[in-house]
Amino acid sequence: MNNITITTMSRFFAFIYDAMLANTEEACLQDWRKELLANVYGDILEVGAGTGANVGFYPQTIRSLTVSEPDKFMRKKLKIKLSSNTIKQCVIKNFTMENIDLADESIDCVVSTLVCCSVKNPVKSLNQVYRVLKPGGLLVFIEHVAAENNPARLKWQNRINPIWKRISGNCHTNRETEKYIKQAGFTIKSIEKSSMRKAPAFVRPTIRGIAVK
């Protein structure tokens, strides 16, 4: 794919992203975001912030919020949503999850929602998250994953994945993100496995929860 094609697809994906997820946000994602983000504190890093779906759910008691989004078209929408937030210390960055440009052990909580599916290297990405978290720090996550307990659906996820990742910003339908979180050294504090309602069947299996460094 040449650079012009990639840029065009990136622009289009950013344009449709909020509308594409609107029904799913209303059906479950907004409630999940609100529930999980109630647990964050101190200095927060959100990786792959997209168009800013989490912005309205951060507690006003946090000390600072750094949001990173490498896609410039997504970042334009993110800036608009952040302009109306009331968090005093808020910074937008453009680094990827694989290359977090922050000091070791400088962050209290990292937030990753629907991100690990699309990073180039999920293991490296989660190792980076582990690096920047303070000891005892939290990884708060919502991720769609491989249908590990549904062989028929997993079969379809594997079949669809080569095409889907090419048209949806490298989103993979079959990532084993819980395994990768543990491989990075985290301890899973809490985890829920649910169906992401009103989403396509091949991306419905999800995990959400909190992992501790």
pLDDT digits (tens, 9 = 90+) for 41-84: 999 999 999 999 999 999 989 999 999 999 999 999 999 888 87
**Would you state the pLDDT for residue 166?**
87
**Domain tally, the chain:** 1
- CATH number, domain with residue 26: 3.40.50.150
pLDDT tier, 15 (very low <50, low <70, confident <90, very high otherwise): low
Beta carbons within 10 angstroms of residue 39's beta carbon: 14
pLDDT higher than 60, residue 6: no
Q: What percent of the chain has pLDDT over 70?
A: 93
Which of 56, 96, 89, 43 has the alpha carbon at shortest distance from 74?
96
Mean pLDDT of 127-131: 98
Question: Helix, strand, or coil here: 90?
Answer: strand
Average pLDDT, the chain: 92
Token representation of residue 50:
């997209």
Task: Give the structural domain span for 180.
Answer: 3-212
Strands 43-47 and 64-68: parallel
pTM of the model: 0.93
